[in-house]
Amino acid sequence: MPRFIYMVRPLLGLMPEVSQPDRRLPINEKLAWTVFALMMYLFASGVPLYGMQTTRTSDPFHWLRVILASNRGTLMELGLAPIMTSSLVMQLMQGAGLLQVNMGSREERALFAGAQKLVGFGVTLAEAVAYVFCGMYGDVATLGYGTCALLATQLCLAGLLVILLDELLQKGYGLGSGLSLFMAVNTCTDILWSTVAPVSVTTGRGTEYHGCLVAFVHLLVSRKDKLRALADAFTRPHMPNLLNLAGTLAIMGAVTWFQGWRVNIPVKSVKHRTQSGQYPVKLFYTGNMPVVLYAAMVGQLYFVSQLVYAKMGSIPLVRLLGVWEEYGDGAGSKPVSGLAYLLSPPATLWELAADPLRALFYLSFVLSSCAMLSKAWMETTGQGPREVAEQLRNEQVAVKGHRDHAIAVVLQRYIPSAAALGGLTVGGLAVGADYLGALGSGTGIMLAVTTIFQYYEIFMREQKELMGSLGLLGQQ
């Protein structure tokens, strides 16, 4: 019997928990709870931290704010980083054999979920303390230890709120998961803002607007040289342009197209031989989880690298991890060398052409990481061939043309390949979007589009169950 997973049982009582619903909720109640969770997240994203003096210091999460669904200087400063990190740590520990959990046991699944919550809150506490005492909100001596403790407490409570909202949706009160919902909404908001924001900015070329469509109209109307205005609207640097918007739409179209790729395995009912259907194995078998876990991994690397560089930038090992340079406006920092630089996408096509080795390393790392994380997620969440075969047997379903006990053998041909190839595809689309300068980042677009599709499928499934038309077709 696994030992470590049972050792966390006494600690689980220290964490608040959302109880399982005592009945199956109708879809209108689930929609209400989903909207409630989203409103709570958006409210916390707009409430500034009480007691901070400044946010003009460099931002360790500047590159990943959209993906992490965080908002600087607010209660959602840490965003989803703790949840994503805890999920990554627990999955990697289980995949490496350091943590053995029988996902077929309801008790051990519950203990695993509880342990993941504990790790998530531990990461929240560690990051909150690091943020405050590294001077993110002002000098510690000026703030005083009481104010520093208050700031850290606010971040911890906000992190706990995110954990509970995610648990609320995943336990059946809402639709989908809070993790995917918050990231998708944050990405869509960022894309919309970059497209139609009517905010004017004074540049060396005069007044321009942040939103690329608004800027396009303004440039054509205000400038005499229409060809130059059109060229600027498509290629202007440092602000959203029409090429970025075109890249965004292209990646969205590609993701939508790949969503339809699947292998349909013919199945039949063991109990009622006349009933048959198909079991779909999708290309995106693990959904958007590969890029979620990848973003968590790289986000923590950026966080650690930038903080240690600010304090010990002269140490060679620290510089090997990453050398950071602040933007001219002080809004954030960018890596200019080291591992953090190699793992950051080129900002433009010109930057890609100037350093093709970096682009090749970034592409190789993202593809291999997403493929491995996809397979690890499949194996550790009960989506592997054996687990799916057991579910089908429990539902008295068999594969046509094969004996009942051969279900796992048939699924073994498709599911691991779909998980690995799906991870490669997701990673490749994310990299392609980064190279095209797509709005909201490549990873963010992948998360948004796949999450929208997942919610569409969840809604359709709920509708079928409501009408009492459950069947074998499309059931997973």
DSSP annotation of 389: H
Residues in contact with 385: Cβ distance below 8 Å, sequence separation at least 6, in sequence order: 408, 411, 412, 415, 416
Residues 152 and 257 grouped into a single domain: no
User: What's the CA gap between 420 and 392, in Å, rounded?
Assistant: 22
Residues 155 and 270 grouped into a single domain: no
DSSP annotation of 199: -
Q: Is residue 445 domain-resident?
A: yes
Q: Is residue 191 domain-resident?
A: no
Total tally of structural domains belonging to the chain: 3
pLDDT band at 433 (very low <50, low <70, confident <90, very high): confident
Give the model's pLDDT for residue 36. Answer: 93
Residues 229 and 350 grouped into a single domain: no
Write the DSSP assignment of 94-141 as a string of letters. HHTTSS---TT-HHHHHHHHHHHHHHHHHHHHHHHHHHHHTTTTS-HH
Q: Give me the chain's average pLDDT, please.
A: 81
User: What's the CA gap between 343 and 64, in Å, rounded?
Assistant: 12
Residue at which a domain ends, from 211, 234, 257: 234
Q: Is residue 181 domain-resident?
A: no
Q: What pTM does this model have?
A: 0.74
Residues in contact with 264: Cβ distance below 8 Å, sequence separation at least 6, in sequence order: 278, 279, 280, 281
CB 158 within 8 A of CB 164: no
Q: Is residue 438 domain-resident?
A: yes
* Residue 102, domain CATH: 1.10.3370.10
Write the DSSP assignment of 256-288 as a string of letters. HHHHT-EEEEEEEESSSTT-EEEEEEESSTTTT
Give the model's pLDDT for residue 61. Answer: 62
Query: 236: how many CB neighbours lie within 10 A of its CB?
Result: 20
Q: Is residue 468 domain-resident?
A: yes
Evaluate if residue 92 carries a pLDDT over 80.
no
Give the model's pLDDT for residue 473. Answer: 43
Residues 297 and 161 grouped into a single domain: no
CA distances from 53 to 136, 178, 462 (A): 9, 31, 48
Q: Which domain holds residue 458?
A: 242-475
Residues 361 and 462 grouped into a single domain: yes
Residues 92 and 126 grouped into a single domain: yes
Give the model's pLDDT for residue 377. Answer: 81
Residues 216 and 328 grouped into a single domain: no
Backbone angles phi, psi at 160, to 5 degrees: -65, -40
Residues 220 and 163 grouped into a single domain: no
Residues 305 and 401 grouped into a single domain: yes
Helix (H) or strand (E) holding 398: strand 397-399
Q: Is residue 189 domain-resident?
A: no
CB 216 within 8 A of CB 231: no
Between 122 and 103, where is the model more confident? Answer: 122
Q: What is the pLDDT of residues 160-205, one digit of tens each?
A: 999 999 889 888 888 878 888 888 888 888 889 889 988 887 777 7
Residues in contact with 171: Cβ distance below 8 Å, sequence separation at least 6, in sequence order: 18, 19, 20, 21
Residue type, 224: K
Residues 211 and 359 grouped into a single domain: no
Q: Is residue 180 domain-resident?
A: no
User: What's the CA gap between 63 and 384, in Å, rounded?
Assistant: 34
Residue at which a domain ends, from 234, 252, 284: 234
Residues 169 and 206 grouped into a single domain: no
Residues 117 and 209 grouped into a single domain: no
Residue at which a domain ends, from 159, 175, 191: 175
Helices 289-312 and 356-380, axial angle in degrees (round to 10) = 120
Write the DSSP assignment of 317-334 as a string of letters. HHHHH-EEEE-TTSS-EE
pLDDT band at 461 (very low <50, low <70, confident <90, very high): confident
Give the model's pLDDT for residue 160. Answer: 92
Q: Is residue 340 domain-resident?
A: yes
